[in-house]
Structure 1
Amino acid sequence: MAMWIQAQQLQGEALHQMQALYGQHFPIEVRHYLAQWIENQPWDSVELDNPAEEAKAKRLLDNLVAELQRKAQLQSGEDGFLLKIKLGHYANQLKSTYDRCPLELVRCIKHILHSEQRLVQEATNASSGSEGQTMDSLSQRHQQINQAFEELRLATQETENELRKLQHSQEYFIIQYQENLRIQAQLSSLSSLPPAERTQRETTLQSKRTTVEAWLAREASTLQKYRLDLSAQHQKTLGLLRKQQTLILDEELIQWKRRQQLAGNGGPHEGGLDVLQSWCEKLADLIWQNRQQIRRCEHLTQQLPLPGPMEELLSKLNSDITDIISALVTSTFIIEKQPPQVLKTQTKFAATVRLLVGGKLNVHMNPPQVKAVIVSEQQAKALLKNESTHSESSGEILNNNCVMEYHQTTGTLSAHFRNMSLKRIKRSDRRGAESVTEEKFTVLFESQFSVAGNELVFHVKTLSLPVVVIVHGSQDNNATATVLWDNAFAEPGRVPFVVPDKVLWPQLCEALDMKYKAEMHSGRGLSEDNLVFLAQKAFTSSSSNPEDYHNMTMSWAQFNRESLPGRNFTFWQWFDGVVELMKKHLKPHWNDGAILGFVNKQQAQDMLMSKPNGTFLLRFSDSEIGGITIAWRLVWNLLPYTTKDFSIRSLADRISDLNHLLFLYPDRPKDEVFAKYYTPPLSKAVDGYVKPQIKQVVPDFFIFYFTQLHVMSLTTIKMSLLNVSALVRNDTMLDADGDFDLEDTMDVARHVEELLRRPMANQWSSQHMLTSHFSISSACLELRPRRY
């Protein structure tokens, strides 16, 4: 309702644009009387390009009709009688219009709501600017573009007025020219008259001819000046059109495409396409008007040839205006919805292309067909250099032809490819260490259509963002790395698909943060401490000062080609494993601030040392992709949990199971943080059966060994360690004959003895240094001397 209240306060051109959104397809009265209901419905949740969403759209249509009928029944009294009939009529009208195509209703209402929001926002920005407040750069650019359109409109109107004057003057000139010819004919016919009468009439006609010819001479000069002046005005208008078109196509449209590319990395969803279309349509309208004026000038010149350079000038103007409109049409054939950038063979995918000026040029009167083919990086380079005129393919795409459809409600001309599938791919020879997941392809969309009765024929092409083709899900991780690097660091106007081999660390941090925020669906991204942790991991550094990394660069090889020191995975593979784990299982806990995550083992121990027993924190495993471990005051690190573990029992339930865990670092009671995520206990048997429950257990005997170290004698500690070794390290403490390897065991005992002889800052320091060598497996319930 708030949106509609603001929309009703629009004035001038904005109000006119708002009113133009409505009509027979969706009456403005329906918007008015159902304003709050309409604004509360989940229109944006419906995917217009997905036929499976038709059922959801049908429910929305049925609900809308039912709401209208309910509203009609509530009307009473004399005034309400007419409204009751009108609302009932609208209910039946919408039902009959959209019952077979409910997705079109959703498309219509989404377009209306988004357009209203834009108009209200623009009006708000304009009013705040008039009050002396500083407008943001976006509003300033929009104002600049709108002012330029007004200037172009006035210039086009002026040349139209001048052209009409020229046409009227030329028509009168022709009339006078014909009069002169008539006089000459009369003079020629005087020979048959008597001499006296002939002389008198000849004198009169000669005087009249002299006057007319003098006027014709002057008027011819004036007409020529009019033509030259009009040509100069057209030249000026064309200059303004070029400037405006450059601003819209080379800046605004390029920025939209850049936002679309960053959206592939999780950036804000690219918006503003409807605004761009409205600008491009205004351009098309103005360009076409000027082109028609130039053509009329040519016709007038041919109708009355006069000495001078007009023919050459008009030919040049016609060529220039044709180039301008060709550039507009070819540049506004865009990909509204990109195909997936990690493209798996034999898997269905979708894409949408759109011609922003299609409706204005009436292209839909003869709907063009669009074809999609997949091409390699080298083929894309050749296409952009015009070295290849035909579309060579590097694979076979099924269902790759689609006819463009015109949507009356939104005024868009687009082709929706809903069921494409890449059947096969032909790869090129790889260079050096390049893997198949580093090879880039692109989907080429092309079409051909004509306007103005085949007067102009356009062959349009557009390339998708780079895609990496995979044949198995195991390749997805590395393919995503290629896509992320390309999306983040591609430069405008590049040769396909060149990207820098190395980038500054802050640039990469920005890309990683964008990806992480998007996957968490929250504003909580990576903090400065998190990024320092990642820098330490990436550069094998111990510095905790963020400034130390600002000028460091990271190469593609360091990012996802070379393994981290001592590991069998790359920096990206580790990071992506964290993202996948969080996205699938731990997103709520991250958004609650319950997971520190980016903390190494030593940092975790240092943080917990000063805290009470039972204090714990959650950190990502250093040694396992997609693993998270619990570090707490008594047992420093459990064996990391992975996606497989959380598919059996959730993190919250596992934490609930462990009674030793009391406080989430620094001092939050664990139930306060996690209780809302606990699985409720079963209250009764089902069908006579009691369902068993899975519960995580850490053996209490193990905790006892380490909590008592500070009161045990050295001999007792040695014996305890021998006992623990016998229980949990029988695979490494036994010698070849099956007896205890006493030398190895005593090495551990001697280490403990050495520790216990050192001065201790508190009663837990020896325990800290001892237990830091051990971790507990909650799955196998056994002690393992392992690092994570």
Structure 2
Amino acid sequence: MALWAKAQTLQGDALQQMQNLYGTHFPIEVRHYFAHWIEDQPWQDIDPDVRGHEGKARMILDALIKQLQYKYDQLSDTDFLLRLKMKEIADHFTKNYGSNPLDLVRIIKHCISTEQALVDQATGLNQEMLSAEGAARSETNRKISEAFQLLKQFTQETENDLRVMQQKQEFFVIQYQESIRLQAQLQQVQQQPAQDPTRVLNETNLTKKKAEVDTLLQQEAQQLLQMRITLAEKHRTTFHHLSELQQRIVEEELIQWKRRQQLAGNGGPQEETLDLLQQWCEALAEIIWTNRQQIKRVEMQRQQLPIQQPGPDILPELSTTITALLSQLVTSTFIIEKQPPQVLKTQTRFQASVRLLVGGKLNVHMNPPNVKATIISENQARALLRNERIKDNDNSGEILNNTGVMEYHQATRILGVTFRNMQLKRIKRPEKKGQETVCEEKFTILFQSQFSVGGNELVFQVRTMSLPIVVIVHGNQDSNAWATILWDNAFAEPNRNPFCVPAEVTWSQLASALNCKWTYVNGRPLSDSNMKYLAAKAFNINNPPESEDFGQSKISWSQFNKEPLQPNRSFTFWQWFDGVMELTKKNLKGPWEDGTILGFVNKDRARDTMLMSKQNGTFLLRFSDSEIGGITIAWVAQDPNNPSERQVWNLQPFTTRDFGIRSLADRIHDLPHLVNLYPDIPKDEAFSKYYTPIREKNPQNDGYVPAALKATVETLPPPIASPMTYDNPNTPLPMEGPTSPTEKPTIMSPDSEMLGACGPADFDGNGGEADMSDDFLSELSNLSSENLTDNIDVNKLLNLEFVDKDAKPF
């Protein structure tokens, strides 16, 4: 109820705006009496434009109706009117929102968000306002508000002048009619006989009166002419200020919103709601329309009473200017509120929503317009911006369910349409440019419509293009497609020629984009040392000096995602970065946010600078240099071949597939070699909250022995004379027997990432580790991970014997 309590303290215009939110669609009594319940609902989990959320919305509606019924039952007979109101509201909600509860959710969310904005604006409690950017935003809003006040004042003054001028013109017409009447009487008198004694007297009087009226008419005509000139100059001034304000809102504020929307595609802050922009655009539309109607009235007055004007007539220019301003406003405020996916796979459903910010104010919804979506290529987008027409059938693909009708929501004053079930059926690719791959080709979805304003007085053809889209046909193209999108979103210039981007940027620019993306996906941002590691990797520099500053070094698109990361690697810098980002997102997000994963550490630095100075058993986690989406464990231990020396060992990298079998934390818990996380944190303290809980034994005697997987690191081998092969890194070469019956040999090499790390679990009759016979190993190796425990022969399991030293591990 905290928000509603603050909303009730609003004053002046803010209070009026808050009150205007409520009406029969959502009575303010509901907001007041059920404020606590309303603010406790999970509104953020329900999107009124997603049909799949209708079930959640219906639960909200049903619960609210129950709240109303309960309130009705609790009220006494002395609260007769309020009881009737509660029942009336419950019936109204059931009737109007029973078939579409998402409409009610849309209304309530709009009310709450607007209340919050009004409270933040009035109290200054919004934390953003404390920042420099927030202060600048507040100053911008203040200036725009002042500009609107000035324009409203100008418009009211010209309205008053126009009214006075209309009255004066009507007076002039009356006097002109009087002059005509006097002229007719004078002519009639002059036709009387000259000797008539009354003729001279009447002629003299009529001549005098007519002269007075004609003089007055001349004065009134001069005043009318001057008023027309003055009014035209006032309109010119108004239109000048109006043009400046519209340019600021449409070409600055709206463009900035679109830019924030694009950066949000890279993980930047989500763009602000369009409510404030719509409020500004609607205010512009109202002022423009009022001034345009004033110009039309001036034209009508001039037709009724033509007066020769000295000098050039600026009225035609004013009429053209105000109509152009209206046209620009309508076409510029037809925008994409929810962008389609920027990496779009064929035969996959997707959504998008389009909105007209001035639709409600101009009553466009009185004749609901249709909107059509088509996909076009980069070259076709350029042609459209050059005002070249493209044929309706000249598109780059076929989109199913690509038409919709714009709907107007009275409560939120939003005119828009949501395409919920579009699907790209096929794509027609243009000719390739040089070495460009299909994942570098950019398309856009073009939304087109036609609006009529003022009873078909004006008809506007409008269109807007989505952010660049890369079309893929297979999931293995996803990473390269996102590289194209990240580069475009990060480095696109406003008002560019579609869809040009620089061929190279500074490392600091790219680092900012990578950090933004990483933070959005995995929470904790990248540190300065992480960035330096990434820079060295991108520029293929081993062990750069500490003083090295890559900030202004140029990195090209080719270095980013076309050239191999190293001559002996088959993947690019982005593919490697995207791999570890996805690995962290899917399997390591918690430990990464805790700071227990260093990740971006060079192997040499991990060995020489970090681990060799620590006690045995100290380990760290770093991303593999040799494998996409891999993470390895490096730890320091005594060299079994030379007890007087220590070595740093690296486990074979784990990937998402490995963590689908056993988690990283459980693997670390399994390995006794790992004692302290670098620098000196006990591993249980760092990872215990991620350990898989031990399953309780089944109290029923169902005939099965529980089984579990466990990671092991086998004994380090003595020197091997024969050459080592890596045809199967999990199969050791011949060596001496293990040092104890429970230890199994495996190939390990100092500073290598090709060590055997984890094999299928071994069990004795009590669930502990034991060596296994060849027959049982052969049978077990044929089992899938899904049915492992279902196919274990318990009798064999209970009669296991240790294998001899020549037993062949699997």
Does the pair score TM above 0.5?
yes
Aligned residue number for residue 665 of structure 2:
652
Which residue, out of 662, 675, 697, partners 1:684?
697
Is 2:441–2:470's contact at 8 Å kept on the other side of the alignment? yes
What root-mean-square deviation, in Å, do the aligned CA atoms of Structure 1 and Structure 2 show? 2.6
Is 1:259–1:268's contact at 8 Å kept on the other side of the alignment? yes
Distance 1:344 1:636, change over 3 A: same
Distance (whole Å) between structure 1 residues aligned to residue 125 and residue 329 of structure 2: 28
Amino acid at match of 2:677: L
Distance 1:225 1:773, change over 3 A: closer
Question: Offset at 1:518?
Answer: 0.7
Say yes or no: does 1:779 pair with 2:758: yes
Is 2:370–2:450's contact at 8 Å kept on the other side of the alignment? yes
Aligned residue number for residue 491 of structure 2:
489
Deviates more, 1:646-655 or 1:396-405: 646-655
Q: What SS is found at the alignment partner of 2:755?
A: strand
Q: Deviations over 1:385-412 (max 9, x none)?
A: 1122544311111111111111111101
Number of residue equivalences: 729
Question: Offset at 1:613?
Answer: 2.2
Q: What SS is found at the alignment partner of 1:575?
A: helix
Distance 1:651 1:773, change over 3 A: closer
Aligned residue number for residue 531 of structure 1:
531
Q: Deviations over 1:259-289 (max 9, x none)?
A: 0000110111111311000000000000000
Amino acid at match of 2:108: I
Aligned residue number for residue 790 of structure 2:
none
Q: 1:285-304, aligned counterparts within 5 Å?
A: 285-304=286-305
Q: Deviations over 1:652-673 (max 9, x none)?
A: 2212222222222112222222
Q: Deviations over 1:92-112 (max 9, x none)?
A: 322222111111111111111
Q: Give every structure 1 segment of 4 or more consecutive aligned residues whose post-TM-superposition deviation is greater than 6 Å.
A: 126-131, 730-733
Distance 1:773 1:214, change over 3 A: closer
Distance (whole Å) between structure 1 residues aligned to residue 146 and residue 753 of structure 2: 71
Q: What SS is found at the alignment partner of 2:508?
A: helix
Aligned residue number for residue 470 of structure 2:
468
Question: Offset at 1:212?
Answer: 0.1
Distance (whole Å) between structure 2 residues aligned to residue 238 and residue 162 of structure 1: 16
Which residue, out of 476, 479, 483, partners 1:477?
479
Structure (1 or 2) with the greater helix fraction? 1
Q: Deviations over 1:535-554 (max 9, x none)?
A: 11011222243652012011
Q: 1:563-582, aligned counterparts within 5 Å?
A: 563-565=564-566, 566-582=568-584
Distance (whole Å) between structure 1 residues aligned to residue 726 and residue 10 of structure 2: 81
Is 2:330–2:358's contact at 8 Å kept on the other side of the alignment? yes
Q: Deviations over 1:729-769 (max 9, x none)?
A: 69799xxxxx99x9xx9xxxxxxxxxxxxxxxxxxxxxxx9
Distance 1:471 1:509, change over 3 A: same
Q: Deviations over 1:337-378 (max 9, x none)?
A: 111110111111111111000010000000000011111111
Aligned residue number for residue 766 of structure 1:
none
Which residue, out of 673, 690, 702, partners 2:686?
673
Distance (whole Å) between structure 2 residues aligned to residue 127 and residue 466 of structure 1: 34
Amino acid at match of 1:471: V
What is the percent sequence identity of the aligned residues? 55
Is 2:671–2:713's contact at 8 Å kept on the other side of the alignment? no
Aligned residue number for residue 415 of structure 1:
417
Q: What SS is found at the alignment partner of 2:375?
A: strand
Distance 1:180 1:126, change over 3 A: farther
Is 2:190–2:203's contact at 8 Å kept on the other side of the alignment? no
Is 2:120–2:126's contact at 8 Å kept on the other side of the alignment? no
Aligned residue number for residue 460 of structure 2:
458
Distance (whole Å) between structure 2 residues aligned to residue 42 and residue 671 of structure 1: 36
Gaps of 5+ in 1: 706-719, 734-738, 746-768, 783-788
Q: Deviations over 1:292-340 (max 9, x none)?
A: 0110001011000001169942211111100000000000000001111
Is 1:71–1:87's contact at 8 Å kept on the other side of the alignment? yes
Distance (whole Å) between structure 2 residues aligned to residue 130 and residue 558 of structure 1: 40
Distance 1:208 1:690, change over 3 A: farther
Aligned residue number for residue 402 of structure 2:
400
Question: Offset at 1:81?
Answer: 5.3
Distance 1:296 1:104, change over 3 A: same
Q: Deviations over 1:167-226 (max 9, x none)?
A: 000000000001111111111222454521222111111100000000001110000000
Q: What SS is found at the alignment partner of 2:620?
A: strand
Is 1:336–1:352's contact at 8 Å kept on the other side of the alignment? yes
Is 1:636–1:775's contact at 8 Å kept on the other side of the alignment? no
Is 2:383–2:389's contact at 8 Å kept on the other side of the alignment? yes
Question: Offset at 1:88?
Answer: 3.6
Aligned residue number for residue 632 of structure 1:
635
Q: 1:485-634, aligned counterparts within 5 Å?
A: 485-520=487-522, 522=523, 524-541=524-541, 542-545=543-546, 548-565=549-566, 566-606=568-608, 607-634=610-637
Q: Deviations over 1:403-428 (max 9, x none)?
A: 11111111010011111111111111
Q: 1:371-450, aligned counterparts within 5 Å?
A: 371-388=372-389, 390-391=391-392, 392-450=394-452
Aligned residue number for residue 356 of structure 1:
357
Taking structure 1 as the reference length, what is the TM-score of the superposition?
A: 0.88
Distance (whole Å) between structure 2 residues aligned to residue 526 and residue 318 of structure 1: 56
Distance 1:126 1:309, change over 3 A: farther
Is 1:532–1:545's contact at 8 Å kept on the other side of the alignment? no
Aligned residue number for residue 779 of structure 2:
none
Q: Deviations over 1:213-245 (max 9, x none)?
A: 000011100000000000000000000100100
Aligned residue number for residue 167 of structure 1:
166
Distance 1:636 1:81, change over 3 A: farther
Aligned residue number for residue 101 of structure 2:
102
Is 2:670–2:712's contact at 8 Å kept on the other side of the alignment? no
Q: What SS is found at the alignment partner of 1:66?
A: helix
Amino acid at match of 1:772: D
Distance (whole Å) between structure 2 residues aligned to residue 165 and residue 176 of structure 1: 16
Aligned residue number for residue 721 of structure 1:
719
